[in-house]
Amino acid sequence: MTRVAAIDCGTNSIRLLIADVSRRGPLVEVTRRMEVVRLGQGVDRTGMLDPAALERTLTAVRRYAEICAEHRVEATRFVATSATRDAGNRHTFVDGVRTLLGVEPEVVSGQEEAALSFAGAASVIGAEQPRPLLVVDIGGGSTELVVGDDVPRAGISLDMGSVRLTERHLRADPPTGKQVKAARQDVRDALAEAAAEVPLGEVRTVVGVAGSVTTVTAHALGLPEYDRARIDGAELPTPAVLASCEALLQATRAERAAMGFMHPGRVDVIGAGALIWAEVVGAVQRATGHLPTVRTSEHDILDGIALSLR
């Protein structure tokens, strides 16, 4: 077994997974951490990483470096995604990570991000689950859709995410009908582009990953607090998922903040994440003509990164 560290730095959060991996078989999780640092703050508008966001993120990287040392990690892979891809000053971030962690951070393409997300989610989906799978990873700056059986067959990364959509459209509390309509149109335009690349009509199982989806699932399950064990692998009726998406989108900031399962760093962007998830589920429903349930997984790009190190 090799002890590895996988770090995923997205638009909204930075996450760490330390695990023991072997050449074959599932990974053995040692610890998982997540901090909301909002690295992508303002990137959609300015094309640059904000200095305060950089400072928050590098502070988290420093803490992760200490945790890796404590756990005697042998190999580390650091993957940066949408916000860093889009930023003109990303070299400042890359230099900072290299200094703190001693590894070269990889600013991966949307296609690589999609493939890693699929690998992580598919690694825990049993053979009894109907294929093809559609793995949907809703991040802060982008959303990945990948179709495959046990390996990806087709995928796309779309420039729509919970932070990006919130900053563009959903600025009122709660968002106005006009704002929701504009945001929904953006998502539908992106999904029309995706439909040309990804065969949604062939999908038999939809698996959603990452914080927006897991938060919607917590709402649909009626959880008083976030419970990873109950959320991971949950299979919910499609109407229940869509109803929770709509409820989160229409809630006020205060109402969302009062929900026991809601991470504080997700309060202001979950409406956009829920809107994206509803639109993706609706698109698959229309394409297949039959989507009675959707699944949620806590295994995602982090697991894919860790598995790539074996």
For 66, residues 6+ apart whose C-beta sits below 8 A from its C-beta are none
pLDDT band, very low/low/confident/very high, at 3 (cuts 50, 70, 90): very high
Q: Which two tokens stand for residue 147?
A: 């179709």
Element containing residue 55 per DSSP (H, E)? helix 51-70
Q: Band of the pLDDT at 83, cuts 50, 70, 90?
A: confident
Q: pLDDT for 208-256, tens place per residue?
A: 999 999 999 999 999 999 999 999 999 999 999 999 999 999 999 999 9
Q: What is the mean pLDDT of the chain?
A: 95
Reply yes or no on whether the pLDDT at 85 is more than 90.
no
Give yes or no for residue 82 having a pLDDT over 80: no
How far is it, in rounded angstroms, from Cα 179 to Cα 41?
A: 20
Res. 187: pLDDT tops 80 = yes
Does the pLDDT of residue 155 top 80, yes or no?
A: yes
Contacts with 252 (C-beta within 8 Å, 6 or more apart), sequence order: 173, 174
